């Protein structure tokens, strides 16, 4: 068998993240098992977005089923293909709408997590703007034979910048957005850091009132809780005009919207989500993709979930044909994640065993028979194969590998068959309702 080729950085990220119960950002391709059809469908959305349309998808599954894993896989794939991406976990402080700027808080988080292939860890707004300006400067130099210090060079650059801005100005809030882009260019041109920083603050939604924005930039509006999504659409259009394929927005932990106690506030958030859904499905947005990760209850609970709203139920209810056993639709707005098969779980454990052995520099210690024995022990203790989700197995398995590596006197069989071994179950041993359970989503 060929030796696994994986960097120490990647194997460290995988082992540390999986051992701590979180989804790693690096190396996901090494542990991607059993979600090929889902990822193929989502990749088709990337192609559509690059062509100028918009997409909206829900990734729905119970705790540990793989929602966060798929979101991260798609995020990485989108960056590799030339998209700008941004991700945020929804929470009690970050929602889509609220009375205390919770929607604006989500926008600010998305802007801070703005990422590209060359800036995959967030904070990419400056590099996007300055990379674009540098590209225009190179084009002007090539077309006119002028140099940056020559008279007329900056005027030629500004002309090209305004050509892009004109494509945006006809959209809602587009004129103000364009004015800020021009303001950033002028700050760049004049080496005025205060002007550049003011433009960045405005784009990040950091101005608290209109007076402050007008003093700094001469604009009469700011990004607020009511308008932030309009600026997401503008940003998607803008990045597509300057050479990226589009903008992908990922929002996980949508169960936090379901958990909003006040009916009025919860419905306000669902209505904002519906407006976003309609915009993308009716192609009122361009080059924009929105992917939401949520639990089955968030979607289907008839009292508090999206299904409590007839408009949402009509848009997202599973087709009567797809509801048949062993039939699943992957092209609709909702992708429902089924548990992995036992064979897929075994493949995942084989890969984890190989990664662990490569990382610590020992020969692969566990046989396929022992891996099957581990899975069977999990199944027998949990009581149902339906509970075979990655989130309920991976953390336990990494722990087993660590224990065996550092305690070579312990036998694998004795360890997993010991009376003290209790498989981890998402939501178990947490003194709250299961909807508040911490989620490990591979």
Give helix 193-203 / helix 125-144 axis angle, nearest 10°: 120
pLDDT per position as a tens digit, 3-59: 678 999 999 999 999 888 888 888 888 998 888 889 999 999 999 999 999 999 999
b (16+ CB within 10 A) / e for 372-400: ebbbebbbeebeeeebbbbbbbbbbbbeb
pLDDT at 22: 85
At residue 167, what are phi and psi to the nearest 5 degrees? Answer: -65, -20
Coil, strand or helix: which one is 284? coil
Residue 69 · residue 20 · CB < 8 Å: no
Q: Which residues, 6 or more positions from 218, have their beta carbon under 8 angstroms from its beta carbon?
A: 179, 183
- What is the CATH topology of the domain spanning 35-116+244-336? Rossmann fold (3.40.50)
Provide the β-strand partners of residue 85: 115, 248
**Cα gap 54→40, rounded to integer Å:** 17
Q: Which residues contact 63 (CB under 8 A, 6 or more apart)?
A: 295, 389, 391, 426, 427, 434, 437, 439, 440, 441
Q: What is the dihedral of CA 270, 275, 279, 284, to 10 degrees?
A: -170
Instruction: Output the CA torsion 105→297→76→426 (10° steps).
Output: 100
- Predicted local confidence at residue 435, as pLDDT: 39
Which pTM does this prediction carry?
0.88
CATH 3.40.50.300 residue ranges of the chain are: 35-116+244-336
Beta-strand runs (E) in 168-308: 247-252, 288-294
Per-position pLDDT tens, the chain of length 442: 456 789 999 999 999 998 888 888 888 889 988 888 899 999 999 999 999 999 999 999 987 788 989 999 999 999 999 999 999 999 999 999 999 999 999 999 999 999 999 999 999 999 999 999 999 999 999 999 999 889 999 999 999 999 999 989 888 999 999 999 999 999 999 999 999 999 999 999 999 999 999 999 999 999 999 999 999 999 999 999 999 999 999 999 999 999 999 999 999 999 999 999 999 999 899 999 999 999 999 999 999 999 999 999 999 987 666 555 565 667 789 999 887 888 888 999 999 999 999 999 988 778 899 999 988 887 776 655 545 677 778 888 999 999 999 898 888 888 888 756 666 655 443 333 333 333 333 4
């Amino acid at each position: 068998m060929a030796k696994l080729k994986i960097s120490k950085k990647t194997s460290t990220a995988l082992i540390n993240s999986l051992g701590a119960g979180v989804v790693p950002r690096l190396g996901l391709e090494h542990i991607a098992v059993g979600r090929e059809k889902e990822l193929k469908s989502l990749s088709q959305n990337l192609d559509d977005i690059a062509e100028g349309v918009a997409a909206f998808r829900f990734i729905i599954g119970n705790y540990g089923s793989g929602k966060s894993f798929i979101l991260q896989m798609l995020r990485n794939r989108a960056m590799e293909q030339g998209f700008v991406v941004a991700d945020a976990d929804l929470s009690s402080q970050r929602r889509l709408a609220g009375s205390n700027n919770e929607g604006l808080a989500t926008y600010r988080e998305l802007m801070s997590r703005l990422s590209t292939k060359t800036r995959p860890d967030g904070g990419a707004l400056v590099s996007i703007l300055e990379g674009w300006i540098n590209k225009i400067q190179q084009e002007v130099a090539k077309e006119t034979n002028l140099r940056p210090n020559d008279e007329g060079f900056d005027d030629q650059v500004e002309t090209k910048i305004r050509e892009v801005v004109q494509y945006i100005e006809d959209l809602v809030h587009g004129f103000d957005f364009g004015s800020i882009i021009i303001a950033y260019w002028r700050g760049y041109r004049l080496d005025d850091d205060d002007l550049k920083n003011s433009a960045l603050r405005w784009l990040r939604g950091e101005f608290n009132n209109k007076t402050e924005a007008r003093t700094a930039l001469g604009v009469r509006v700011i990004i607020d809780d009511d308008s932030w999504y309009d600026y997401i659409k503008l940003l998607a259009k803008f990045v597509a005009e300057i050479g990226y394929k589009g903008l992908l927005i990922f929002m996980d932990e949508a169960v936090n919207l379901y958990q909003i106690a006040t009916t009025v506030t919860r419905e306000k958030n669902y209505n904002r989500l519906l407006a976003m859904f309609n915009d993308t499905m009716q192609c009122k947005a361009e080059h924009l993709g929105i992917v939401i990760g949520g639990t089955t209850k968030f979607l289907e609970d008839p009292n508090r979930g999206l299904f409590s709203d007839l408009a949402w139920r009509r848009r997202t209810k599973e087709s009567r044909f797809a509801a048949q056993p062993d039939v699943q639709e992957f092209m609709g707005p909702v992708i429902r994640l089924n548990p992995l098969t036992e064979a897929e779980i075994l493949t995942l454990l084989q890969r984890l065993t190989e990664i662990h052995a490569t990382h610590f520099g020992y020969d692969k210690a566990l046989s396929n028979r022992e891996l099957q024995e581990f899975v069977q022990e999990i199944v027998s203790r949990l009581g149902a194969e339906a509970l075979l989700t990655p989130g309920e197995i991976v953390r336990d398995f990494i722990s087993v590998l660590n224990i065996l590596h550092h305690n070579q006197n312990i036998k694998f069989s004795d360890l997993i068959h010991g009376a003290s071994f209790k498989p981890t179950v998402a939501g178990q041993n947490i003194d709250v309702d299961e909807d508040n359970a911490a989620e490990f989503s591979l």
